[in-house]
C-alpha cells in the first residue's frame, strides 16, 4: 500500500477545522434485552481537526458533554447519567484525542485515547475518507467514523439483570462529522 497524498483524496485541504455541532452526530448502540439494541446520541460536543499536508499527519481532539445523552426516553436518560452508568455528576465530560493515523485499504484508522468515567483507554476509529466542499458558510469537510469500546474497561460495571435482561458490554460508536475550515 502506497502513501496517501492529498491528490488521492478529492478536494483535500490541509488546515485547522472546527467541528460543527449542529451538523455532527455522535451516536451509540449497545445490546439490550439480548435481542435488540439500545440506541442513543449525544447532543452537545465540540472538536478540532487538523488535516496535515500529509493526511497521515492529521490529528483530532473532541469533547462531549455527557449530560446531553438522548435515547428518546427521559427515564432511561436519567439512569444513564446516574452513578450506576456514566456518573455525570463526577465525570461530566468525555474526551478523545488521536495519537496516530494510518491507512487501511480505502479507509483510515485513527488510534486515540478516550477519557471516560475517570479512565483513559485506547479506542480505534475507522474513518471513511471525507468530502471537502465549498458552501455559503465556508469550506467544510464531512466524514463518517465508527468504533467499539468495552464499557467495563472504563469502570462502567452495571450488569444487574433487569427482569431477566442484561445490558451488553460492547458499545458501538458512530460519528457523522462536519467541520468548518478555520479562516483566522
Task: Specify the pLDDT at position 166.
Answer: 66
DSSP 8-state secondary structure symbol assigned to residue 80: H
Task: Specify the pLDDT at position 156.
Answer: 86
The fraction of the chain above a pLDDT of 90, given in percent, is 70
Residue pair 76/86 in contact (Cβ under 8 Å)? The answer is: no
Q: What is the pLDDT of residues 111-159, one digit of tens each?
A: 999 999 999 999 999 998 789 999 999 999 999 999 999 988 998 876 5
Residue pair 107/124 in contact (Cβ under 8 Å)? The answer is: no
CATH 3.40.50.720 fits 13-181, yes or no: no
Q: What is the pLDDT of residues 2-37, one digit of tens each?
A: 444 555 788 999 999 999 999 999 999 987 666 778
Span of 66-75, 83-92, 94-103, 148-157 with lowest mean pLDDT: 148-157
Residue pair 102/108 in contact (Cβ under 8 Å)? The answer is: yes
Residue pair 77/60 in contact (Cβ under 8 Å)? The answer is: no
**Three cell numbers written together for 119:** 479512565
Q: What is the pLDDT of residues 158-176, one digit of tens each?
A: 655 555 446 777 899 999 9
Task: Specify the pLDDT at position 78.
Answer: 95
Measured between its terminal Cα atoms, the distance across the chain in Å is: 36
Amino acid at each position: 500500500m502506497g502513501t496517501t497524498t492529498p491528490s488521492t483524496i478529492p478536494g483535500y485541504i490541509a488546515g485547522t477545522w472546527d467541528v460543527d455541532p449542529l451538523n455532527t452526530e455522535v451516536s451509540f448502540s449497545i445490546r439490550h434485552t439480548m435481542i435488540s439494541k439500545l440506541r442513543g446520541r449525544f447532543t452537545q460536543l465540540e472538536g478540532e481537526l487538523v488535516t496535515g499536508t500529509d493526511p497521515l499527519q492529521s490529528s483530532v481532539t473532541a469533547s462531549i458533554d455527557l449530560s446531553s445523552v438522548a435515547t428518546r426516553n427521559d427515564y432511561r436518560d436519567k439512569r444513564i447519567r446516574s452513578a450506576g452508568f456514566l456518573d455525570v455528576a463526577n465525570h461530566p465530560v468525555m474526551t478523545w484525542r488521536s495519537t496516530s493515523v494510518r491507512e487501511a485499504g480505502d479507509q483510515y484508522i485513527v488510534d486515540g485515547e478516550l477519557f471516560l468515567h475517570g479512565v483513559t483507554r485506547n479506542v480505534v476509529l475507522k474513518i471513511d475518507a471525507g468530502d471537502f466542499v465549498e458552501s455559503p458558510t465556508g469550506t467544510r469537510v464531512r466524514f463518517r467514523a465508527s468504533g467499539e469500546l468495552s464499557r467495563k474497561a472504563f469502570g462502567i460495571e452495571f450488569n444487574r439483570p433487569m427482569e431477566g435482561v442484561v445490558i451488553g458490554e460492547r458499545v458501538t460508536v458512530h460519528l457523522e462529522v462536519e467541520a468548518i475550515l478555520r479562516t483566522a
